[in-house]
């Protein structure tokens, strides 16, 4: 079965001072390109990136990296809009499941994605990484969950309400990463 990656990278990064899709580590590593590589190396056969703030600049970083770029026109409404735009684009693919992650998770590695993906790219599957028992990203959404997850996505809540109503299989990854997002420089 086909497993795709969905990277949400549309926000303005107001606390960061720049869109997180444009952030580079001190060694020059692009968060955007690192996140794409994490999904690919973690077993995703294709990657879709959702951009918003400064989308044209961020898209330039992706030239030549064989990713599909989707622009969430209403990105300023929050992560929910990014997730809706990404899942709408995924509907046109052959993916049975998608691994959704965020651009601002610097210690989430391909090993984390691989472990979450190992539950299976089944259209009925719902799973997510947990860090010392605390649910986080990435989240694996089987195709049969996409429409309802998108419908529930509002503001900066993404699929949080859907996942609360439809508990996902937790995949412990605390031995691999912290799963903490990075909001400031």
Task: Read off the pLDDT of residues 17-76 as tens digits, 9 standing for 90 and up.
Answer: 678 888 788 888 899 999 999 999 999 999 999 999 899 999 999 999 999 999 999 887
CA dist 103 and 169 (Å) reads 23
User: Residue 16: which pLDDT band, with cuts at 50, 70 and 90?
Assistant: low
Task: Read off the pLDDT of residues 99-114 as tens digits, 9 standing for 90 and up.
Answer: 999 999 989 999 999 9
pLDDT value for 39: 98
User: What is the pTM (predicted TM-score) of this model?
Assistant: 0.94
Going from the N-terminus, what domains does the chain have, and what CATH number goes with each? 3-172 (3.90.550.10)
Q: What HEC string does the chain produce?
A: CCEEEEEEECCCCCCCCCCHHHCECCCCCEHHHHHHHHHHHCCCCEEEEEEECEHHHHHHHHCCCCCEEEECCCHHHCHHHHHHHHHHHHCCCCCCEEEEEECCCCCCCHHHHHHHHCCCCCCCCEEEEEECCEEEEEEEEEHHHHHHHHHHCCHHHCCHHHHHHCCCEEEECCCCCCCCCCCCC
Closest alpha carbon to 4 in 50, 45, 51, 65: 45
| Position 169 pLDDT exceeds 60 | yes
pLDDT value for 49: 97
| Position 183 pLDDT exceeds 70 | no
Closest alpha carbon to 49 in 30, 31, 69, 29: 69
């Amino acid at each position: 079965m086909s497993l795709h990656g969905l990277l949400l990278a549309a926000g303005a990064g107001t606390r960061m001072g720049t869109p997180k899709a444009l952030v580079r580590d001190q060694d020059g590593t692009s968060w955007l390109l690192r996140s794409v590589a994490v999904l690919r190396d973690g077993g995703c056969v294709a990657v879709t990136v959702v951009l918003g703030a400064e989308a044209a600049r961020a898209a330039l970083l992706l030239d030549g990296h064989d990713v599909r770029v989707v622009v969430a026109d209403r990105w300023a409404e929050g992560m929910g809009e990014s997730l809706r735009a990404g899942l709408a684009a995924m509907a046109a693919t052959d993916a049975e499941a998608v691994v959704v992650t965020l651009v601002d998770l610097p210690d989430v590695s391909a090993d984390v994605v691989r472990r979450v993906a190992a539950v299976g790219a089944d259209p009925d599957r719902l799973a997510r990484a947990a860090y010392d028992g605390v649910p986080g990203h990435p989240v694996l959404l089987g195709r049969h969950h996409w429409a309802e997850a998108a419908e529930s996505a509002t503001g900066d809540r993404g699929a949080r309400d859907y996942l609360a109503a439809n508990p996902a299989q937790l995949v412990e990854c605390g031995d691999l990463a912290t799963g903490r997002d990075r909001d400031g420089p």
